[in-house]
Amino acid sequence: MREPARQANFMTGTWLLSLAALIAKILSALYRIPLQNIVGDRGFFVYQQIYPFYGLASSLALVGLPLFVSQVMAQDHTAQQANFQRLWRFAVLWGLSSALILWCGASVLAQLMGDKNLAPLIKAMALFYALAPLEGVLRGTFQGQLQMEPTAFSQISEQVVRVAVIILAALAWRQKNLQLYPMGAWAHAGAGLGAVVSLAVLAFYCRKLVFSTTSAVGPRKILYRRFFKEGLALSIFGSLIILWQIVDTFNLLRLLQQGHYDQPQIIKGIYDRGQPLAQLVMVIGLSFATSLMPQLGQSNLAMQQRIITVSCRLGLWLTTSATVGLVVLMPQINTLLFKDAAYSGPLALYCCAVIFWSYATLMNIIMQARHQSQGNVLLVCLAVVLKLLLNDLLIKPWGLWGASWATVIASAFLALKLYQRATADLKSILWRDKYFPKLVLVAGGMAVVVGILLQVETFFWPTTRGYAFVEVVVNIIVGVLCIGIFSWHSQLLTIEEWHLVPLMKYLIKEKDDALR
């Protein structure tokens, strides 16, 4: 009876952790909408220029490190205490050294970004850099002992505190007439404060940590080599949006200035509107699909292949549908969320990269589970270099259109290379039962219907913020209905897959009952 109860607790904890991660990601994406509304495009530029530093550290320390630590703890129960001590010392050294480098190099980094006033904002991230690795080790240790609640509650508390500080800093700027750069520094200080609260939550649960008697362990260099080989790969693919944004952070402003564009900071701030929209679509598309992945290690080969197929098909279906809808509705969504429709074309093009990012992330997760991911990190590095080269080539003549094309081309390159590296059974997922052609036709059909409806609506009234709300709501409903009807009649998804879509199993059951 003890093993079934343990398994049940594990599954409950896994779902709790998945829900907490989803809530944290949604919070991390959505707060930037009111932030931009409060501080405007230039203030949003000031904040977003430093955000990639947070995103990169968060992916490394709070995604890759906990996953790696949990694997180490779960694989050898007799050496947990020794491994924990080693990893804790590693986290302390990592945190202090990275915080020191960030603090001392703030002025140089700000100069490289083309705005020396950003140095205090970079320094404001130092506390988070010092504490995040400690969070990662504690979260991974709890997860390795199948205790998911500490990680779940620490994730949510950290994001709530961080978002609250950011919004309060923006409101203080508006009320007290502060300068934008001090406002940005206070906003980014919220990451460190959130880490303090998160560590307090984790410390509260530390009394539940129980280590077995220490046994002999291998050399520590093997442990660290495993982290850079396994944890780093998971972190990099978990931060694809951030990697592309880092490239734009360091050269988009400079290239706009060299291209003699008026108000380049405001243009960069408008371009940054696309990041939370893309992140939100990825959360919607991948969270449901990747929640099935933990079952891979607990299933036979036939079931593993079925889980992989279902995860990929549903993940791509949700991501593609949401992305195409976002692209078609971009002028209305841009106006509704950010007050105007400026540069909606380049933003829509930028969001097309989400489809490629989602496919690349899914493929890497599967390859990692199968121990076939060697070389994937190199492909990401090549794609980032391609993005860098394309930025230099395209931004000065084409502005934001060039930046968006560079993002899409580099992202498509990464997805294509991962497809080429995939095994035959993974490649066949896209073509079995004509899945990919059907998906293109379904998404294209929805785009045509919604596009025609939008043309009719804009003929009768202008795209003001009030009308944009009505248009977005109406067309989302129409788009969802189109995707559902076209997918059903084209048999894009199997009955088993339809049952996994929220609410659909009840509709299918009612239809079956009516036929009887």
> What percent of the chain is predicted at pLDDT more than 70?
86
Per residue in 470-479, pLDDT tens? 999 999 999 9
Decide if 66 contacts 24 (C-beta within 8 A): no
Kindly tell me the number of DSSP H helices and DSSP E strands found in the chain. 25, 0
Residue 480 lies in a domain: no
DSSP-based three-state secondary structure for 81: helix
Residue 66 lies in a domain: yes
Residue 24 lies in a domain: yes
- pLDDT band with cut points at 50, 70 and 90 for residue 510: low
> What does the pLDDT read at residue 274?
93
> What does the pLDDT read at residue 300?
64
> What does the pLDDT read at residue 20?
75
Angle at 54 between CA 278 and CA 228, to 5 degrees: 95
- Mean pLDDT is lowest, of 117-131, 153-167, 359-373, for 359-373
Range picked from 27-41, 99-113, 170-184, 273-287 for highest mean pLDDT? 99-113
CA–CA separation, 180 vs 106, rounded Å?
A: 18
Residue 223 lies in a domain: no
By C-alpha distance, which of 276, 292, 236 is closest to 63?
Answer: 236
Per residue in 417-440, pLDDT tens? 999 999 998 999 999 889 999 999
Decide if 343 contacts 263 (C-beta within 8 A): no
Q: With 0-12 CB in 10 A as exposed, 13-18 as middle and 19+ as buried, what is 461?
A: exposed
Residue 177 lies in a domain: yes
**C-alpha to C-alpha distances, 404 to 255, 300, 344, 390, nearest whole angstrom:** 14, 43, 11, 10
> What does the pLDDT read at residue 196?
96
> What does the pLDDT read at residue 49?
93
- 5 or 152: which carries more pLDDT confidence? 152
CA–CA separation, 400 vs 350, rounded Å?
A: 9
> What percent of the chain is predicted at pLDDT more than 90?
53
Average pLDDT over residues 51-78: 80
Residue 7 has pLDDT above 60, yes or no: no
> What does the pLDDT read at residue 183?
93
> What does the pLDDT read at residue 218?
58
Residue 167 has pLDDT above 80, yes or no: yes
Residue position matching structure tokens 């559902």:
484
Per residue in 299-324, pLDDT tens? 567 777 787 888 888 889 989 999 99
Residue 73 lies in a domain: yes
CA–CA separation, 45 vs 49, rounded Å?
A: 6
Per residue in 358-373, pLDDT tens? 999 888 888 877 778 7
Q: What is the gyration radius of the CA atoms in the chain, in angstroms?
A: 23
> Which residues are CB-contacts of 363 (< 8 A; sequence separation ≥ 6)?
415, 418, 419, 422, 426
Q: Provide the domain count of the chain.
A: 1
Computed over every residue of the chain, the mean pLDDT equals: 85
- 20 or 410: which carries more pLDDT confidence? 410
| CB < 8 Å & 24+ apart, contacts of 159-164 | 159/23, 159/24, 159/27, 159/28, 159/194, 160/27, 160/194, 161/190, 161/193, 161/194, 161/197, 162/190, 162/191, 162/193, 162/194, 163/27, 163/28, 163/31, 163/190, 164/190
Per residue in 316-358, pLDDT tens? 998 999 999 999 999 999 999 998 999 999 999 999 999 999 9
**C-alpha to C-alpha distances, 109 to 49, 171, 384, nearest whole angstrom:** 11, 28, 19
Domain span at 163: 1-111+120-210
Residue 157 has pLDDT above 70, yes or no: yes
> What does the pLDDT read at residue 292?
54
Per residue in 206-235, pLDDT tens? 877 776 655 555 566 667 777 777 667 777
Decide if 460 contacts 408 (C-beta within 8 A): no
Per residue in 431-470, pLDDT tens? 988 999 999 999 999 999 999 999 998 888 877 888 899 9
Residue 306 lies in a domain: no
